[in-house]
Amino acid sequence: MSARDEKSVTAKKKSRKKGDDAFELWLRRGLHQLFDDVTKEPVPEELLRIIEADKDS
Amino acid sequence: MADTFHTQIVSILPKLRVQALALTRNRAQSEDLVQDAVCNALNARDSFIPGTNFAAWMHRILRNRFISDLRKQRVTADIDDVPGELLSSKADHEDRLAVKDLGYALARLPDDQREALILVVLQGMSYQELAESTGCAVGTAKSRVFRARRQLEAWMTGDLPENDGLRQRASALREEVGRRQMAGNAARPSVSHG
């Protein structure tokens, strides 16, 4: 492989890596927007009661 | 010891809720699933070996419960449930549409891939932890995340068959964004400088 070909392959790899990183960032952000509300909601009282009751038994 | 056990359960609830929503794609079903999994864990407390990975043990119980429920009844997916939640997010309009696309795309992934992706990308689980939590080999865990990511990327960049419903929906949404942006620009008064 000539030096020029190697350069071209490296450039393509770098570009793909950049694309992957950008998608990864976008994906993480999107998943947070979809799921963060769930983690912030208060735990249902009934569930906490079940856990407490088991603890006391 | 008992206190530690119950405290650990309460601490892990937010993560269990995310896993449950990833699996069921339905808020009401996910809340039921978490509650059932917690009850199973309380009943199976003696089978937990102190000093081992409690999170993995809990995630595995929830997953097994999901599979067991799935066998009992054919779960109907409610993909409208996920985008509906986005209405309360603070993201701007265009962002919301892109995330809505992501919601549709996630719903189309196989359950095990969607769960793996969310546990690793969103919750920061390692492949080893994912393997322990889902009862599979590390290689399988890696492969699930890789395939989910690649599939989503292909869908989100439009690399889909012509007759694909998701693509049509995503494309319609993008067109709507474009139309609204153009309408917004036309309605905005032009400002001259100087």
Q: Structurally, how many domains does chain A consist of?
A: 1
- Look at residue B191 in the predicted model and tell me its pLDDT: 47
Mean pLDDT of B19-24: 94
Query: Where in the sequence is the domain holding A16, given as residue range(s)?
Result: 3-56
Mean pLDDT of A24-32: 92
Tokens 């690649």 -> residue: B150
Q: B18 and A33: CB-CB below 8 Å? A: no
- B191 secondary structure, DSSP code: -
- Look at residue B169 in the predicted model and tell me its pLDDT: 66
Domains of chain B by range and CATH?
A: 1-78 (1.10.1740.10), 79-186 (1.10.10.10)
**pLDDT (tens digit, 9 = 90+) per residue, B80-122?**
454 444 434 444 666 667 788 899 899 999 999 999 999 999 9
Residue B175 near chain A (CB below 8 Å): no
> Over 70: is that where the pLDDT of A46 sits?
yes
Encode burial over B73-86: b for 16+ CB neighbours within 10 A, e otherwise: eeeeeebebbbebb
Mean pLDDT of B126-130: 96
> Chains A and B: how many Cβ contacts under 8 Å?
77
Q: A43 and B89: CB-CB below 8 Å? A: no
What is the percent of chain B with per-residue pLDDT over 90, rounded to a whole number?
56
ipTM: 0.73
Give φ, ψ of A43 to 5 degrees: -70, 135
C-alpha–C-alpha distance, residues B18 and B119, integer Å: 8
Mean pLDDT of B24-42: 95
Q: Model-level pTM?
A: 0.71
- B118 secondary structure, DSSP code: I
pLDDT band with cut points at 50, 70 and 90 for residue B174: low
Q: Are B109 and A31 in contact (CB under 8 A)?
A: no
C-alpha–C-alpha distance, residues B115 and B20, integer Å: 9
C-alpha–C-alpha distance, residues B102 and B167, integer Å: 11
Q: Which of A39, A38, A40, A30 is nearest to B103 (CA)?
A: A30
Q: Choosing among B96, B121, B155, B159, which should be mutated to test the A contact, i.e. which has the most A CBs within 10 A?
A: B121
CA dihedral B124, B127, B133, B136 (to 10 degrees): 160
- Look at residue B180 in the predicted model and tell me its pLDDT: 73
Mean pLDDT of B25-41: 95
Give φ, ψ of B40 to 5 degrees: -60, -40
Pick from B39, B95, B102: CB nearest A50: B39
- Look at residue B12 in the predicted model and tell me its pLDDT: 96
Q: CA of A47: which chain B residue's CA is closest?
A: B35
Within 8 A of B15 by CB-CB distance, chain A residues are 39
Q: Which of B134, B135, B141, B133 is nearest to B56 (CA)?
A: B133
pLDDT band with cut points at 50, 70 and 90 for residue B129: very high
C-alpha–C-alpha distance, residues B148 and B84, integer Å: 23
> Over 50: is that where the pLDDT of A35 sits?
yes
pLDDT band with cut points at 50, 70 and 90 for residue B145: very high
Instruction: Tell me, rounded to whole angstroms, the distance of Cα B13 from its chain centroid.
Output: 15
